[in-house]
Amino acid sequence: MIKERILKYIDSKSITRYHFYKITGISNGFLDKDGAIGSDKCEKIISCFPDLDPEWLVTGKGEMIRTSLNGNKPTKVNRYLLKSDTSTVEEKIPLYNIEAAAGVVSIFESLHKQEPIAYIEIPNLPKCDGAVYVVGDSMYPLLKSGDIIAYKVLNDIANIFWGEMYLLSMLIDGDSFITVKYVQQSSKEGFVKLVSQNQHHQEKEVHLNCIKFAALIKASIRINCMG
């Protein structure tokens, strides 16, 4: 229901879904997927659209457009002003050396305690927690070894968006793995299906408990020539 109200709001404002994703930093396709919306996303949407009434968004009660303290509806907002036009433009995403991280269980915690080897600054880049270099060819040709991927760490594995690409930190039979894969639903309860872009890599099903950390891939960068 909340997603239906979001769609109603952006339609009333003549905002495309593309601009909605750009403004909020929420992953593309979110509004088309089933499932509940968390409070963190509601807060993000409300902060990006100050004229949207929070009570209406969450409960459907009251008016869609928030009224100001004097009882009048707010003046027209600049709805096409993206976050990237203000703070996001100045945001620098830290690039980490994933090979220097100590232990798979603390991979992301360890990364963010490191001194970044560089910073990435690209206009309109979604908000990310960090970036690392790709190692291996499991996602080739979409990603190749040496590409840079920017990611946003999930606070809860249960919030995985099926079909999206993730940087995963796993512990399986005592061995640690760091990989980039599409995460899809499995027919086996408690399991997920990890799928590669490279057709020479077979899909694999792993138990959710084996995934210690997951981060949504929000962007990739490829350098095609040096010098």
pLDDT tens-digit readout, 176-210: 788 899 999 999 999 999 999 998 999 999 999 88
Q: Report pLDDT for 109.
A: 56
| Nearest-angstrom CA–CA distance, 189 and 48 | 37
Task: Compute the average pLDDT of residues 154-159.
Answer: 82
27 in Cβ contact with 161 (< 8 Å): yes
Report the percent of the chain where pLDDT is more than 90. 20
Taking only the tens place, the pLDDT of each residue in 63-119 is 888 764 344 444 333 333 333 344 344 468 888 877 654 443 455 555 556 677 888
Q: Cα 200 to the chain's mean position, in Å?
A: 27
